[in-house]
Structure 1
Amino acid sequence: MRKLVRISVAASAAALLLLTGCGSDSDSSGGGTGKHKGGSHGSDADGDGGTGGSGGASSAPGSAEGAWHATVDGASLFLTITGNQAATIGKGSCAGTYQAQKLSLKCADGSTDRTSGKAELSGDGDSLTVSWEGSGEESFRRVDPGTLPQELPTDLPTEMPSGVPTGDVTTQ
């Protein structure tokens, strides 16, 4: 089970890199903290710390497109918006669409905490607040897609597990 979790984290990190694009020589930290209000998650760290990155080439000023980071209940949550596609990584991996400020996601673990929400971009374009239906509000800071957050694990798996089903899996 522990090995499967590490593989999921590695796959999530790879998906984050694919969705945000690669390569930037920027030295900005890109870290940020978010706020989570309400819902069943309780309160978390304040949203005053951290600085946003420059946004990089994949994010236009005044656009929600790009990579975003929040700290929720002490854990990192990443949101990536590319065109009309969106994904979250951290506290479950979810993917779906982003259209007209609305996020519609489906989570791999069946969670519904972050499947439907409305995103509001700040005036300066450096923060994004998402109001999740039934789960409260989270504030994200824009991150530079060329830098990896320091919270990523360093002990990623080196081999795939055996006995994992492939193709269509059906249940009875």
Structure 2
Amino acid sequence: MPQQIKRLIIAFASIFVLFLIMQQVLKPDSFGEIGHYRSKSIQENKMRVLHYAGSESCIKCHEEIHLEKSSGFHATLKCEVCHGPSMKHVQYADQFEGGELPDSLILNKPGEREDCLICHQSHAARTKIVFDSIDNSVIKQIDNLKHNPVNKKTKEALKCIDCHYPHQP
């Protein structure tokens, strides 16, 4: 066998052995106890502070809005996509039932054009819409510069919600 082949075999074998050693050294102790996962990370993840409560928690107090939204184009959109994280709002809302919530617990009420344009701004990387999608699979896009209605009296640009109700656009 030629000398260079012997050197290549020794080099590859050394790298392979080094890989096996490093794999054992770097692998966490709890890895593999419950499948291909580090089981001690479950406790770490349980200690993380939650920020999102999920739309199900919104429905408890805002069922009428959920029913209204469920038949519109935003039916599959979760509440927190537009209104932001709601965990604190949900946790403390019961204490203020019937009263005014403090500002720190009031969720975002998007109404500016920028809020809607996060999803609806026409963008070259997004699929062009040729028809109004009935199954909500295609997001209607607008060119913000072309679709920029103005209030005839005040000459100020209108907000999207002045013409489009967000829960049923």
More helix by share: 2
Q: What TM-score range do you get, normalising by the shorter chain?
A: under 0.3
Larger Rg: 2
* TM-score of the superposed pair, with normalisation by structure 1: 0.19
Q: TM-score, length-normalised on structure 2?
A: 0.20
- Structure ranking higher in strand proportion: 1
Structure with higher RCO (Cα < 8 A, 6+ apart): 1
